[in-house]
Amino acid sequence: MFGGLLQFHFMQNAYLAGTLVALLAGAAGYFVVLRGQTFAAHMLSQVGFPGAAAAVLAHVSPVLGLIAFCVAAALGIGWIGRDLEPGHRAESAAVGSILAFSLGLGLLFFRLYTGSAQAMYAFLFGSILGIADRDVLLTLAVAVAALVVLAWAGRPLVFASVDPNVAEARGVPVRLLSVGFLVVLALSVAITVQIVGTLLIFALLVAPGAAALQLTARPLVGLVLSVALALVVTWLGLALAYFTDFPVGFFITTLAFGAYLAVRGLKAVNAWA
Amino acid sequence: MSAALRFERAAVRLGGRVVWSGVDLEVEQGEFVAVLGPNGAGKSTLLKALLGLVPLSQGSVSVFGHPVGRGNADVGYLPQRRRFDPDLRIRAVDLVRLGLDGARWGLSLPSAAKQRRVAEIIELVGATPYQDRAIGELSGGEQQRVLLAQALVSGARMLMLDEPLESLDLNNQQAISELIRGICKSQGVTVLLVAHDVNPILPFIDRVVYVAGGHVLCGLPDEVIRTDTLTRLYGAPVEVLRASDGRLVVVGQYEPVSHHAEDH
C-alpha cells in the first residue's frame, strides 16, 4: 500500500519539500518557543499571504513572494524593536498595524487574481498538490542556508535567548542576533507555508518545539526532538492526505496537536504519580 | 599590589542628566566591597561603567590596569533581575556552560575538560544536587548559586553582583553572603556587590562604596556609614542609628526621584 505513495511526481515533490520544511521549521521552532516569540512567528506567517498572492499575480514562484514579504517584515520588526526597551507596547502596536495592512493587501491581490481559487486556498491552508520543481529547488537553497546559519549561531543564540543581559556583557551581539533570528524565522515561514499554509503554520513552527521543550531541558536534545517531531508529523500527514483525500493541513495540525497533548499528559501523569 | 579597578575623576551622563561625577575610587585585588546607596543613585550604573556597557562622559576607568570593554573574561557579571521565568526550559548546568563558551560561534565538539571545569565550579557553589533541573524550577537561593557559578566559570578574577540578595529570605541572604566571602578569600576574587540593605552583609564585607547625591564615597563600613559622613555625601540631613542588635539604620534619606525632577 505504501509503495504507491511516491509513484506520482507531485507526491515526490511534496515529500522532498516537506522534509526540508520540517528540518528547518523544527529547528527554528525550538528557538521560537525558547525565546517566547510565537507572536512574531504568527505575524510573519500572516504577512506571507499577500506575498504569495503578489507573486502569483506577477507569474513568479510564490516562494519568492513569501521570502520577499516575510524578510521585509522581519527587518521591519527588528528595526522598530531596535530602539525600544523591552516591554514592547509600541512594538506590538506597530506589529499589529503592519499585520492588518498586509492582510488588506492580501485581500486586494486575491480580488485582482482571476485564476482558480484553489491556489489562494493553498496559501491559506496548505496543499500537497501545488509544489512545482522550481519551488523544491528554492526550498532546498533556503533550508540549507538557514540551517547553516542556525548551526553556526546556535550557542550565542541560546545564550542571548535565556540570559540576554549576561550574554551582552560577555560580548554577544544580542540585538543583531535578535534581528538575524527574525530573518531566519521569516525564511522558515516562507517555505513552511507551502505545506501547511499561513493559517496553520504553528503546527510545524511552534507545536514540535513546544512539545520538545516540555520533554527535556537539554538544549541539544530538545532541538533534535523538535526536528524529529516535525519530520514525523509531516511525513505522516502527507501520507494520510494522499490516501484519504482529506486536506494535508488538517492531518498535520491534528498530529502536531496530538503530540503536544500527549507530552503534556505524560508530564501531568508523571507529576501526579 | 596593583588595583583591581580604578575610577579617576569619572562621571556618567544618562539621558542628559549627570548620574554621578568626580568619582575617584580604587579597589584592591581580593577585596569584598559592598556598593550601597538609595534607589536610583547610580549603583547599577557604576557596575555597567566597569563592564563597558555605559560610557563615561568624563574621566577614566580601568579594570586590572586595562581599559574596560565587553566580553572581558576576567569579569563575571550577575545583572539585577527578579527571577528566571518559571517556564524557562534549560538546565542549570547548561546555563553555567554558557558562561564558559556561550559567546563563541560555530559548532562545538564535546569537551571533557570543559565538562570538568563546569562540574568543578558547580561543586564550589554547592549546586551539584540540582544541576540537572530546569533553572526556572529552582528556588531564588538555588538560582543565585547557579548564576554565581556561571559568572565564575570562565576564570573571572572579579565578580560584579547587582542585588544578588534581593528577593531572598534572611537565611539565604546569610548563606549566599558567606559563600561569596569564601570564594573571595579562597580564590582571591575581587567582589563588588550591590545591595540596598547593608545589614545582612555587614559581617562579611571589607569595605563599602556609598553612592548618593551624585557622588561616591569609599571606606571602611564604620567610617562611611556615619551621620556626619552621609550627611555630607547626601548634602542633606541624614542620621545613622545603631539598633541594640547591631543593625544600622539610615534615616532621613531624601527621595532621589524628586531631586531629579527638580533638575529638569
Could you give the ipTM of this predicted complex?
A: 0.88
Residues of chain B that touch chain A, judged by Cβ-Cβ distance less than 8 Å:
51, 53, 70-71, 75, 77-79, 81, 84-85, 88-91, 94-95, 98-99, 101-108, 133-135, 150-151
In A, which residues are within 8 Å of B106 by CB distance? 152, 155
* Average pLDDT of the segment spanning A102-124: 83
With CA atoms as reference, report the closest residue to B239 among B175, B229, B260.
B229
The predicted structure's pLDDT at residue B63: 94
Quote the CA–CA distance of B153 and B99 in Å, as a whole number: 6
Quick one: pLDDT band at residue A71, thresholds 50, 70, 90? Answer: very high
What does the pLDDT read at residue A121?
82
Nearest to B131 by CA among B140, B119, B115, B148: B119
Exposed e or buried b per residue across B18-36, where buried means at least 16 C-beta atoms within 10 angstroms of its C-beta: ebbbebebebeebbbbbbb
| CA atoms within 13 A of residue A9's CA, in its CB half-sphere | 5
CB spacing of A156 vs B104 below 8 angstroms: yes
Task: Mark whether B3 and B65 lie in a shared domain.
Answer: yes
Q: Residue B230 falls within a domain, yes or no? A: no
Predicted pLDDT at B256 = 46
Tell me the percentage of chain B whose pLDDT exceeds 90.
65
**Is the predicted pLDDT of residue B259 greater than 50, yes or no?**
no
Give the contacts of A53 (CB within 8 A, at least 6 positions apart). A65, A106, A109, A110, A113, A120, A123
Task: Tell if the CB–CB gap between B95 and A158 is shorter than 8 Å.
Answer: no
Inter-residue contact B204 to B34 (CB < 8 Å) = no
Note whether B32 and B149 are same-domain residues: no
Model confidence at B254, in pLDDT bands (50, 70, 90)?
Answer: low
- Calpha distance A213→B173 (Å, rounded): 32
Per-residue pLDDT tens digits for B67-113: 998 878 899 999 887 678 898 999 999 999 999 999 999 988 889 99
Residues B137 and B115 in one domain: yes
Of B140, B155, B170, which one is at a domain's C-terminal end? B155
Tell me what the mean pLDDT of segment A214-220 comes to. Answer: 94
Q: Considering chain A, what is the average pLDDT of its residues?
A: 88
- Please give the average per-residue pLDDT across A118-141, as a whole number: 86
CATH label of the domain that carries residue A192: 1.10.3470.10
Asked if residue B189 belongs to a domain, the reply is yes
A206 domain-assigned: no
Q: Tell me, what's the pLDDT at A90?
A: 62
Q: Are the CB atoms for A85 and A114 separated by under 8 Å?
A: no
Residues B226-244, mean pLDDT to the nearest whole number: 85
Question: How many pairs of residues across A and B have Cβ atoms under 8 Å apart?
Answer: 83
Q: Are residues B65 and B172 in the same domain?
A: yes
Average pLDDT on A217-244 reads 95
The answer to whether residue A148 neighbours chain B at the CB level (below 8 Å) is no
More confident residue, B150 or A37: B150
Residue B107 lies in a domain: yes
A169, B79: Cβ pair inside 8 Å? yes
β-sheet bridge partners, residue B215: B212
Instruction: Compute the nearest-CA separation of B201 from chain A (Å).
Output: 24
Same domain (yes/no): B1, B70: yes
Comparing alpha-carbon positions, the chain B residue that sits nearest to A168 is B70
Q: Which domain holds residue B6?
A: 1-74+157-225
A257 in a structural domain: no
Q: Residues B47, B66: one domain?
A: yes
Claim to verify: residue B196 and residue B167 sit in the same structural domain: yes
DSSP result, A176-195: HHHHHHHHHHHHHHHHHHHH
**Which DSSP helix (H) or strand (E) runs through B240?**
strand B239-242
Asked if A163's CB is within 8 angstroms of B103's CB, the reply is no
Q: Does one domain contain both B177 and B68? A: yes
Is there a domain that residue A96 lies in? yes
Residues B2 and B22 in one domain: yes
* pLDDT tens-digit series, residues A153-189: 999 999 999 999 899 888 899 989 999 999 999 999 9
Interchain contact, A156 vs B91, CB within 8 Å = no
Number of H helices, E strands in chain B: 8, 12
Confidence of residue B257 (pLDDT cuts 50, 70, 90): very low
A80 in any annotated domain: yes
A169 inside 8 A of chain B by CB? yes
- The answer to whether the Cβ–Cβ distance between B90 and A158 falls below 8 Å is yes
- Asked if residue A58 has pLDDT above 80, the reply is yes
The rounded distance, in Å, linking the Cα atoms of B74 and B50 is 12
- State the pLDDT confidence band at B247, using cuts at 50, 70 and 90: confident
From A92-106, A154-168, B131-145, B155-169, the region with the lowest mean pLDDT: A92-106
Instruction: Report the half-sphere exposure of B164 (CA within 13 A, side-chain side).
Output: 30
Left if phi > 0, otherwise alpha if psi is -120 to 50, otherwise beta: which for B249?
beta
- Inform me whether the pLDDT recorded for B177 exceeds 90: yes
**Which of A156, A169, A213 faces B70 most closely, judged by CB atoms?**
A169
Please report which confidence band the pLDDT of residue A88 belongs to, taking 50, 70 and 90 as the band edges: low
Phi, psi of B49 (to 5 degrees): -65, -40
B19-66, pLDDT tens digit by residue? 999 999 999 999 999 999 888 889 999 999 999 989 999 999 999 999
Domain identity same for B120 and B177: no
B253 in a structural domain: no
pLDDT > 70: percent of chain B: 95
CA distance B252 to B234: 10
- The closest CB to that of B103, out of A151, A154, A172, belongs to A172
Q: What is the DSSP string of B102-129?
A: TT--S-----HHHHHHHHHHHHHTT-GG
Average pLDDT over residues B246-263: 58
Tell me, yes or no, whether A95 lies in a domain: yes
> Would B173 be classed as within a structural domain?
yes
Which of A214, A218, A164, A212 lies closest to B102 in space, CA to CA? A164
Query: Total structural domains in chain B?
Result: 2
Q: What is the mean pLDDT of chain B?
A: 89
Among all residues of chain B, which has the CA nearest to that of A174? B103
Range with top average pLDDT, A57-71, A77-91, B115-129: B115-129
Which of A33, A166, A176 has the most B C-beta neighbours within 10 Å, making it the best mutation to test the interface with B?
Answer: A166
Indicate the residue of A153, A170, A222 with minimum beta-carbon distance to B71: A170
Query: Distance between CA A63 and CA B24 in Å, rounded?
Result: 61
Sort out which chain A residues have CB atoms less than 8 A from B115's CB and list them. none
Q: Is residue B191 part of a domain?
A: yes
Report CB contact under 8 Å: B107, A222.
no
Its domain, for residue A183, covers 26-199
Cell of B98: 554558557
Contacts of A70 (CB under 8 A, 6+ apart): A44, A45, A47, A48, A51, A186, A187, A189, A190
Which chain A residues contact residue B88 at CB under 8 A? 162
Of B163, B90, B96, B84, nearest in space to B125 by CA? B96
- If asked whether residues B91 and B64 sit together in one domain, one would say no
Instruction: Report the alpha-carbon distance of residue A249 to residue A125 in Å, rounded.
Output: 6
How far is Cα A136 from Cα A129, in angstroms, rounded to an integer?
Answer: 13
Say yes or no for a CB contact (<8 Å) between B90 and A34: yes
The answer to whether residue B25 sits within a structural domain is: yes
Please check whether residue A272 lies inside any domain of the structure: no
| Distance from the A185 Cα atom to the nearest Cα atom in chain B, whole angstroms | 19
Q: Residues B126, B17: one domain?
A: no
Tell me how far apart the alpha carbons of residues B30 and B1 are, in angstroms, rounded to a whole number.
10
User: Residue B123: beta bridge partners?
Assistant: none
* pLDDT value at residue A82: 58
| Least confident window among A39-53, A65-79, A109-123, A219-233 | A109-123
Nearest CA-CA distance, residue B138 and chain A, Å: 13
- Collect all residues of chain B within an 8 Å Cβ-Cβ radius of residue A159: 98, 102-103
CATH number of B25's domain: 3.40.50.300
User: B103 vs A171: CB contact, 8 Å cut-off?
Assistant: yes
Range in A123-132, B198-207, B208-217 the model is least confident about: A123-132
Number of structural domains found in chain A = 1
A57 falls within a domain: yes
Cβ separation A165–B79 shorter than 8 A: yes
pLDDT at B1 over 60: no
pLDDT in tens, B5-22: 999 999 999 988 999 999
Helix H or strand E encompassing B35: strand B32-36
Average pLDDT over residues A184-201: 91
Q: From the CA of B181, how many Å to the nearest CA of chain A?
A: 22
Q: Is residue A106 part of a domain?
A: yes
Segment A75-95 shows an average pLDDT of: 65
Q: Do B94 and A213 touch (CB under 8 A)?
A: no
